[in-house]
Amino acid sequence: MKNRILVISHGHPDFSLGGAEIAAYNLFNAYQQHPDVEDSWFLARADRGRGATGQIRKRRENEYLWEQGIGDWHLLKAEQQQSLTTWFTDLIQALKPTIVHMHHYAHMGVEFIRVIKQIDPEIRIFFTIHEYMAICKHNGQMVKTGEGHKLCSSESYDECHQCYPQHTAEDFWLRKHFIKSHFDLIEGFISPSEFLRQRYIQWGIDESKIIVIENGQQDIETLPPRELADGETRNRFAYFGQVNPYKGIDVLLQALLSLKKKQRKKLVVEVHGANLEQQTGEFQEKVKEMASKLIEEGCLRWVGPYRPDEQMKRMQSIDWVIVPSIWWENSPMVIQEAFVAGRPLIVSDIGGMAEKVRDGVDGVHFSAGNPVDLGIKLLNLSGNSEVWDELREGISKPLNYMECSIEHLRYFDRC
């Protein structure tokens, strides 16, 4: 019997260009093209412009938007509870999926997992985990609140209480077991990195129920190297992604400022980023102050946000991609995108970044959160085209969308 697959995401790429949303949407499209899939649908949490009414409306053929929200972020409970037994239930009963492949529960709550099983216990649920939200209340970052952005390596009810003193250690015990009671209804879990997989095994997911499948990418030809003028080196670096405190944009700017002015003239860094205006005033001021000096000198170009279809064109004009995040990350989409483009990376030496980029093979590691180390790496690499050539040769092309869907369908069949 052919599968009927409903993909659920916490956002639609039409409105939100996060890595998890894009990965979920690409899988939905790949499922539609697979001969062993009878039909597939995409349900995404709607943009909050209309508020969380609980309604589900059609976006386009086989695509739906759910106006849902979170009413309790501590326990990850849905805001519109009645929608679970009305709009959501009606949709599941109408579509009759054999598989629900969920990619998140943020902005929707975890309760829909139990509702699916109540509607039809034969529906199999699979969950691709993109972050650590079940483990860590701090936006799934596993970074302590307060100054310093200290990393957490595992859960601790007492340490969680220190980050959120309004909740007792017992509250965090209850939080875990409430979430896990829903996860226990899931047939299988997919992690895009071994690092994240191990975190969730430590948290309590049976290791036999969680496997690693990398997010799929475009099936396109690798970009040719940037053409160099006479005497020019591989000295163009770029940052792609969100501009927030955890992504390390301030570490990158500090790295440039740690160099002498004559050293900075040897390289150019481009920032292709979005959402600085959504950050705290203090962080905005800090970034703008550092950036203004570097822009004036000419070693920094603040290019701004981009659409997914623009990314390859922008990567054509640079040599290196920098991922300076100060949190663990899982499998940043930009790493796989850089590999598709044939661009070596410079990444923090922690978490999914250190796993996905092999130091000295297809990229370079630097000490996470250390702008001096990053500055030295940028300077040394900017003048060494031979290293760039070697690292580019070491890049392995990632799974494409269809290959990724095939890996998932094989896993579903085994479970």
pLDDT for the residue 231: 85
What are the residue ranges spanned by the domains of the chain? 3-216+400-414, 236-393
Query: DSSP characters for 331-358?
Result: --HHHHHHHHHT--EEEESSHHHHHHS-
Q: Give the dihedral sign, CA 151/156/159/164.
A: positive
Angle at 157 between CA 182 and CA 161, to 5 degrees: 115
Kindly list the averaged pLDDT for each block of 10 residues, start to end, along the chain of length 415. Answer: 95 87 95 95 85 92 96 96 97 98 96 98 97 94 84 90 96 97 98 96 97 95 94 94 91 97 95 88 92 95 89 95 95 94 98 97 97 97 94 96 97 95
Model confidence, pTM: 0.93
CATH assignment, 236-393: 3.40.50.2000
3-state SS, residue 40:
strand
Same fold, 3-216+400-414 and 236-393: yes
Q: Choose among 64, 79, 138: nearest CA to 111.
A: 79
User: Would you state the pLDDT for residue 275?
Assistant: 84
Cα dihedral 359, 128, 60, 400 sign = positive
State the CATH architecture for 3-216+400-414.
3-Layer(aba) Sandwich (3.40)
The reported pLDDT for the residue numbered 49 is 65
